[in-house]
């Protein structure tokens, strides 16, 4: 019997789990459906997206954004040293600006004006 050829595609959620971007497969699926993964410029909304070698991903994890290129498809979830061989970082991780830091009260300018007028 001839050996089976390696897969050409792999489910995105399984690859994210095997590459250790998520602690569990269900969390990896939530990354995909939670609009936190871009492949190229396309926002992924389904966990069963067919990932291929050479795809460029942007993954938003917590307060950081990582840009990676897929080098290989995963055969299994192995140790971290094996997972690092599945991808290469195309750019250093960048911190996402929190909305709370950029937030300013709508009436802040009005309060300053009111305070100055009443004195």
pLDDT, averaged per 10 consecutive residues of the chain (119 residues), comes to 70 95 93 92 92 93 92 92 94 76 56 51
Phi, psi angles (nearest 5°) of residue 89: -75, 125
Question: Tokens 């795809």, residue?
Answer: 55
pLDDT score at 115: 56
The DSSP bridge partners found for residue 89 are 68
pLDDT score at 87: 96
Report domain extents, the chain. 10-118
Looking at domain 10-118, its CATH architecture is Roll (3.10)
Question: Tokens 């600006």, residue?
Answer: 97
Helix or strand or coil: residue 52? coil
pLDDT score at 118: 47
Cα distance between residue 98 and residue 85, in whole Å: 31
The CB-based long-range contact list for 98-106 (8 Å cut-off, 24+ gap) reads 98/63
């Amino acid at each position: 019997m001839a050996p089976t050829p390696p897969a050409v595609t792999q489910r995105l959620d399984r690859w994210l789990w095997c590459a250790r971007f998520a602690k569990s497969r269900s969390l990896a699926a939530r990354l995909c459906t939670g609009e936190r993964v871009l492949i190229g410029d396309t926002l992924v909304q389904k966990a069963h997206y067919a990932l291929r070698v050479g795809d460029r991903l942007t993954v938003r994890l917590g307060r950081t954004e990582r840009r990676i290129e897929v080098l290989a498809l995963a055969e299994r979830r192995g140790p971290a040293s094996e997972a690092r061989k599945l991808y290469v970082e195309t750019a250093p991780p960048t911190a996402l600006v929190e909305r709370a830091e950029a937030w300013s009260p709508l009436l802040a300018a009005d309060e300053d004006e009111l305070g100055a007028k009443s004195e």
